[in-house]
Amino acid sequence: MDPLLQRLEPFWYPVLPLEQLGAEPAAVTLLGRALVVWRGADGQLGALDDRCRHRSAALSGGHIGSEGHLHCPYHGWAFAIDGRCRLLPQQPDQPIPERCHSKAYRIQARHGLVWVCLAEEPRLPIPALPLAEDGLHRRIQGFHETWQCSPFRVIENGLDNIHHYFVHRGVLDVLSPVPDPMEGGISVTADGLKFSIPLRVNTTAALEATVADGSASLRVERHVRWLAPLGLTLELTWPNDRRQYIVLFAVPRDHQSCTILRFYLRNDREQEVSAASVIAFERALIDQDRRILEAMPAGLDPWPPGEHLIEADQPIARMRQLLQKFLATSS
């Protein structure tokens, strides 16, 4: 197996929003592996290779029986969430041979997402997101889509404090290409790093629709947190105390593409700022990022050679350094 994909295995990754897992099994790709995930009769979740142990049909094309088992669409073998084959219709009176059972992966529902870990022992727990669980913030379901770029580039872009001025023109009117100083430097945490840095902008119509502040220019407080290996939270506080918390995961599908899962938590109400205006603003913003990221070399390599990082790229340099530790083959 590919050594880098293997190093990325012992972590939890969100693979799709929980609300998308309905009465049908879903196909997802994680670290080069085709998987099927589904919800059994009692609500428990299952994750298996999307390949039947009989003759390799895609189980995601099958159906979930009333007993909660996943039935293969080709010849009807049925698998329980622990991966055991429980029905082999062609020989109902014989014991099911050991080789007919499939391997089940670790799967959990948390923060409104379905999480899978391909390894026996995850190196880090599913990240805690206190604001997603305190009941004080409304949630806006954002984006679930595939980007043709490295997931490391997506997270690095979230730690990049100097691209806004150039990339987000028209959506964000950033006052200067020189970043404001970081407040308190970078702190290393048990599962990544965090730092705070403000962003000063003139208010565009698109931004005003999500802030409802009325000021001509704003100082946005930004608290950024990297959650190893491929998660990021960004807490934005505007002068009127409105707060938006952006939660982003970039999940490696293969060497060329990643799944983007992004949602929002806000401390205001729909009547004040509509979810539609938040999504419209964010759509414009992330499409600008996406154009840059998809035009970069797509390789999954977390340590791309031949780049020349400067002082302002410190969070990215630190992330790359810490990744060496998180992705070490022996922990």
Q: In terms of CB distance, is 31 or 36 closer to ligand FES?
A: 36
Which string of x and - marks every residue 43-62 that binds ligand FES (by CB under 6 A)? ---------x-xx-x-----
Picked from ligand FES, Fe ion, none, the partner binding residue 77 (CB below 5 to 8 A depending on kind) is: ligand FES
Spatial separation of the C-alpha atoms in residues 265 and 139, rounded to whole Å: 5
Span interacting with Fe ion, options 102-110, 246-254, 285-293, 301-309, rule CB under 5 A = 285-293
Is residue 72 at the binding interface for ligand FES, with CB under 6 A as the rule? yes
Q: How many helices (H) and strands (E) does the chain have?
A: 7, 19
Span interacting with Fe ion, options 30-38, 68-76, 251-259, 282-290, rule CB under 5 A = 282-290
Least distance (Å) from ligand FES to the CB of residue 93? 18
Spatial separation of the C-alpha atoms in residues 7 and 272, rounded to whole Å: 45
Is residue 156 at the binding interface for Fe ion, with CB under 5 A as the rule? no
Spatial separation of the C-alpha atoms in residues 113 and 15, rounded to whole Å: 7
Helix (H, G, I), strand (E, B) or coil at 245: strand
Helix (H, G, I), strand (E, B) or coil at 209: helix
Given candidates 12, 77, 165, 281, which one binds ligand FES under the rule CB under 6 A? Answer: 77
Least distance (Å) from ligand FES to the CB of residue 55? 4
Q: Are 212 and 240 in contact (CB under 8 A)?
A: yes
Spatial separation of the C-alpha atoms in residues 141 and 279, rounded to whole Å: 9
Size of the site for ligand FES (CB under 6 A): 9
Q: In terms of CB distance, is 55 or 325 closer to ligand FES?
A: 55
Spatial separation of the C-alpha atoms in residues 1 and 40, rounded to whole Å: 31
Residue 249, strand partner residues: 231, 261
Tell me the residue length of the chain. Answer: 331
Residues that bind ligand FES (CB under 6 A): 52, 54-55, 57, 72, 74-77
Residues that bind Fe ion (CB under 5 A): 289
